[in-house]
Amino acid sequence: MRIDEILSKKRTLSFEVFPPKKGAEEKEALLSTIEKLKTLRPDFISVTYGAGGANAREATEISGCIKKMGVEPLAHITGGPSSKSDIDRVLGELKKLGVENVLALRGDRPVEYEAEYCKYFPHATDLISYIGDDMCIGAACYPEGHIECQTLYDDIVNLKKKQDCGASFLITQIFYDNSYYYRLLHEAGKMGVTVPIIPGIMPLISAKNINRIKSMCGSAIPLDFRNMIESYSSNPTVMREIGLNYAVYQIIDLIAKGAPGVHLYIMNRAETATEIFGRLKNVFNELF
């Protein structure tokens, strides 16, 4: 089923997984993770895709497995350095497997930008237009602005182009301060973005991840939360509890203010999703 259709009827709960890097053992572990996630009745599970399409085969295969397991997959695709025939091949495979939803992205550019890098698909908008309307297309957005944009305003102008090219829903980059998400909704709304914007939440359950998150996506960590993490960074069990509770707080606040769903970045850890679901069982059962 198309995700835009699901969103027109209800709030969505979704998870993001990444394809295995190594052989059969990792694949089996991921499939068992997906079986566990399925018991939480997600509306869809998204599958990440390497920036250069290097893991296209594995990513496509996992999307096909999710479909077979009876959950709706959302296959990420990055334009990046791909040629049109690379994209045709991946889309053809996905369609054969019954996948109806893709998240169209440009992908991160190499640090040393080469002019040739994004020859055919310099931006997600080019990929969205190329895919056309025979699939349901989602795209990425950035509550704190994309790193390459001078201002949030410029980034939202480009976000509106994603909608105009055919994206029918958006998923946000990770954020830890919900006010960035509300600001994005407000500003994007003023510029005519009307498609649902699903907030992306990643529970920060290990102090080691603070610097990783900063370098990966630059998300700001509110001072109160940072203080809690730093006070207990040497105690992993307390740290985990703090991170899960903070994610729960973010989700309740988002739902109370009308978010159209929640997308959880769980780093292939079913237990993280299960714990959050357990703490918010009635919220998910009654409000989703």
Binding region for ligand FAD (CB under 6 A):
48-49, 51, 76, 78, 103, 105-108, 123-125, 140, 146, 148-149, 155, 158, 161, 171, 173, 200
Single out the residue of 135, 127, 134 nearest to residue 73, CA to CA. 135
Q: Are 254 and 179 in contact (CB under 8 A)?
A: no
d(CA 209, CA 239) in angstroms, rounded, equals 11
86 near 110, Cβ under 8 Å?
no
Alpha-carbon separation of residue 210 from 187, 195, 225, 228, 239 (angstroms): 28, 31, 11, 12, 12
**Which of 268, 270, 208 is CA-nearest to residue 48?**
268
CB of 47 to ligand FAD, least distance (A): 8
Q: Within 10 A of 115 (CB to CB), how many other CB atoms are there?
A: 6
Closer of 174 and 207 to ligand FAD (Cβ): 174
Report CA dihedral (165, 106, 201, 11) to the nearest 10 degrees: 30
Residue 28 or 108 with smaller CB distance to ligand FAD: 108
If one counts every other C-beta atom within 10 angstroms of the C-beta of residue 80, the result is 24
Min separation Cβ 156 and ligand FAD, Å: 8
Minimum distance from CB of 245 to ligand FAD (Å)? 24
- Among 47, 65, 80, CA closest to 265: 47
Which region holds residue 33: left if phi is over 0, alpha if psi is between -120 and 50, else beta? alpha
CA–CA distance, 103 with 193 (Å, rounded to integer): 17
Minimum CB–partner distance for residue 148 and ligand FAD (Å): 4
Nearer to ligand FAD by Cβ, of 242 and 262: the residue is: 262
Annotated catalytic residue within 5, 16, 148, 275:
16
Residue with smaller CB distance to ligand FAD, 2 or 123: 123
Q: How far is the CB of 22 from ligand FAD (least distance, A)?
A: 19
Cα torsion 8, 9, 11, 16 to 10°: value is -70
73 vs 200 by CB, closer to ligand FAD: 200
5 classed as catalytic: no
CB nearer to ligand FAD: give 124 or 262. 124
* CB of residue 125 to ligand FAD, shortest distance in Å: 4
What type of residue is 39? T
Catalytic residues: 16
